[in-house]
Structure 1
C-alpha cells in the first residue's frame, strides 16, 4: 500500500469515526435533555429518543442509497433539487404548521417535515454543478459582475454588480425562508454558495460594494420590526433582559458555566428542568456542556475539527471538480452550522435558530445530515478506490517483468 492510499484510507475512516461519535454523543444528549419533559407530559421517558432513532432508521435508507451510488449522478438532478425545495417552501407558506409564531413545517401523517433543511443541501449541489465546468475550463470566478460583457448584450446583462447566476437559487430559497420567518436558516443558505465561490477563487474585494448594499438592506429589514430590534438589544446586553428576551441566552450561560471541568453528570443537569427553553434543539450544546463539562465539550469540538479537516482533505484529493466542490460544500455545511450554533449559544451571535449537526434534536435535520454525511463518505471512498486502482496499474509492468524473469530462471535450470 502506497503512502497516498494510506492517507486516503485514513481520511475515510476519520470522517466516518467523527460522524459516528457525534451521532452517539448527540443521541445520549437528546435523551438526557428530554426524558424529564416526556415524563412531565405523562408519556414514556423515551418519547423523543424513540422518534430520534426512528428518524435515524428512516434517514439511513436514502443515506445508504446515496453512499452506494455514484455521487456524480447528483450533478444531473441539482436543478431538480432546487425546484423541489422551492416548491416545498412555497407549500409551507400556504399550508405550513405554525409553532411559536413561525410557519416552518409541513405535516405528513402525524410527522412534521422542515423543507428549509433540504434547501441547504440543494444549494450545495447546484453551486457545485455550476462552478465545476468553470473551474475545469479555467474561467474566472466572481461573486458579482456582468453576465455578458459583449457590446451586443442588453445593458442589464452588462451591469457590473449583478449577482452571478449561481447565487440566484440561494437568493430565492433564502427569501422564501425569511418569510417563515427563519433568519438563521436563510443565513446558512446564503453562506454556503458564497463560501464555495470564495474557495473557488472569487475575490472578496470585488464584492465589497454589493455586500455593503446587502448589509444595508439587512439592517433595514431588522429595523422594520420592533421585535427584531428587541432581539438585537437582548443579544447585546442579555442581563438587562434576563427575564424576557434575554432569558434563553442567560440560562444558556448558566448551564455552560455550571458544568465546570468535569460536568454534573449525564442526566444530572438541572437546566433542562424547565429552566432552559429549547434545551434539546437550538441550545443542546448548553446541556452537553453542563452535564459533560469542559472535557466533554472539548471532545465534541475536536470531533468537529476532525470532520472539517479531513472533509477538506477529501475535497483536495478529489480529481473531478464537481466532487471536489461537493465535498467542500458539505464540509462547510457541517462546519458553518456548528460554528453559528456554538457562537449563538455562547452569546457571540444573536439567537437565530440554527441546529448543531447531530447534537440538536430534529428529524428533518438528522435525515439531511445523514444524506450529506453519506455523500461525503462516498467521495472519500471513491478517492481511496481510485488511488488503489492507480497504484495497481503502476505496479503491473513491474509484476509482469518479475514473472518473465521467474519463467526464464526456471527454463534455464
Structure 2
C-alpha cells in the first residue's frame, strides 16, 4: 500500500508525509475554528468555508506535485527577469493594492477575480535570485564591490517595497537572505553593512511616517504592537478606605488599556491554558467564540486548546524541525550550489515563519500576522507555500536521479 501511494511521488518521502500531516491537521483545525467566521459572513454555514479551504488545500497539493516534477533549472534561468517584474508588482501593490484588514498587500487578478499577496511571490523570487548570484559569484563573494553589492541592491529594494504594508515579512525575508549569504561565505563585516543599511532605511521610513502619517499608516500599527508587548510602567495608585490598601482606580488609563491591550495574545494564552497537557478532542475548543483569527494567525493556540501542549504544541513544533533537518540533508547532498542555496533559503524561511507564528501565540514576540505554513486557513499564500515545497522536492528528486537524467551541471554554477 505504501509503495502504491509513493510510486507517483518522487523526492524526499518524509517531506511528503509531513506535508500530508499538516494538511490533515489544517482541515481538522480550520473546520473546528470557523464557526464565528461562518456566522459573520455565511449565516452559520461552516461547510462553505470548509469547502473553500479544502479546494485551496487540494489545489495547493496539485501545484506541489507539478512543481516537484518541473526541473528547477527554469527558476535559475528566469530569476534574473522575475526579480524586476516582482519589484514592479510590489510597487503596483503599494500604490493601487487592495486594503484588507488594514494592510495594502493584495492585488486582484482580473480574469479569475482572485486576490493574492505579492509579497508571497517576492519571497520565492528573491531567494531564487540570491541563490543564483551566490552560486555564480563564488570566487568574489568576499569582495564587497563585486560579490556583495549585486545582491544587496535587489534585497533592499524588495524588502523596502514589502516593508510599508508588511514589516514582519520584510524582516523575515531579510534575515533569510543574510543567512544564505553567511552560509555562502560572505564576510561578517559585509553582512553588518547590509544590516546598517536596512536599519537606516527603516529609520527613514519612520521619519517619513511621522511627517506624513497618511503615506505610511501601518507604522502606527507597528508602534502599538511593540508598545503592547513591552512591560508598562505601574500607574499611580490611590488609597481605598474600604479595603485599607492602595488600589488602581477603575477610571485610570492603565485599567482601560488593560481591557484592550494585546487582546489577541491574551485570548491565545487563555486558550493554551485551557488546552493543558493532553488532548481535549476535536471540536471541544471554545476560544473560537472570542479569540480573533483562530483559523489563521492564532491557529497554533487553538490547536493546543483542542489537542494539548504535547500532541498539538510540541508535535507541530517537532514536525517543522524535522522538515528543516530534511531540507538541510537535501541541500548537503546536492552537487549544484544554486540548488543547495535555493533549498536552504526556501526551507529556512518557511520554518522561520512557522516559529514566528508560534512565538506570537505564546507571547514571546509582538503580533506579526504571519500564518502557520500549510496549517492556517489561507488563500494564495497556501499555494506559494506549496510551490516552495514543490521546488525543494524537485531538488531532492534530482539528487536521486542518475547523472544522465538529472540537469546538466553546466546549467548551474
Alignment partner of 2:279: what SS?
coil
Partner of 1:292: 307
Contact 1:35 1:47 in 2 (8 A): no
CA distance in 2, matches of 1:262, 1:334: 27
1:35–1:48: 8 Å Cα contact kept in structure 2?
Answer: no
For the residues of structure 2 that align with 1:38 and 1:97, how far apart are their CA atoms?
A: 23
Q: Is 1:277 the counterpart of 2:292 in the alignment? A: yes
1:125, distance to aligned residue in structure 2 (A): 0.7
Distance in structure 2 (CA, Å) of the matches to 1:389 and 1:83: 32
2:141 alignment counterpart: 140
**What corresponds to 1:394 in structure 2?**
none
**In 2: Cα distance, 1:89 partner to 1:28 partner:** 34
Confirm or deny: 8 A CA contact 1:177 1:183 kept in the other structure.
yes
Q: More helix by proportion, 1 or 2?
A: 1
How many correspondences in the alignment? 362
Q: Specify every segment of 5 or more residues in structure 2 that has no aligned partner in the other structure, as ranges.
A: 1-8, 211-218, 234-253, 407-413
SS in 1 for 2:115: strand
Which of 108, 117, 120 aligns to 1:117? It is 120
Select the residue among 154, 168, 171 that pairs with 1:187.
Answer: 171
**What CA RMSD, in Å, does the superposition of the two structures yield over aligned residues?**
2.7
Whether 2:152 is the aligned partner of 1:167: answer yes
> What is the TM-score when the length of structure 2 is the normalising length?
0.80
Pairing of 1:14-413 with structure 2 (within 5 A): 14-41=14-41, 42-108=43-109, 109-135=112-138, 138-141=139-142, 145-147=144-146, 164-179=149-164, 181-208=165-192, 211-212=195-196, 214-215=198-199, 218=202, 221=205, 224=210, 226-237=220-231, 241-273=257-289, 275-294=290-309, 295-386=311-402
Contact 2:327–2:392, Cα closer than 8 Å, also in 1: yes
| TM-score normalised to structure 1 length | 0.80
Residue segments in structure 1 that go unaligned for 5+ positions in a row: 1-8, 149-162, 391-413
Q: Find the aligned partners of 1:234 and 1:276 in 2 and give their Cα distance.
A: 17
Contact 2:83–2:126 (CA under 8 A) maintained in structure 1? yes
Q: In the TM superposition, what is the alpha-carbon distance from 1:139 to its structure 2 partner?
A: 3.6
- Between 69-78 and 56-65, the greater mean CA deviation after superposition: 56-65
CA–CA distance in structure 2, aligned partners of residues 242 and 66 of structure 1: 48
**What is the alpha-carbon distance in structure 1 between the residues aligned to residue 106 and residue 54 of structure 2?**
20
Distance 1:313 1:266, change over 3 A: same
Aligned CA distance change for structure 1 residues 212 and 78 (closer, same or farther; 3 Å) = closer
Q: Which has the larger radius of gyration?
A: 1
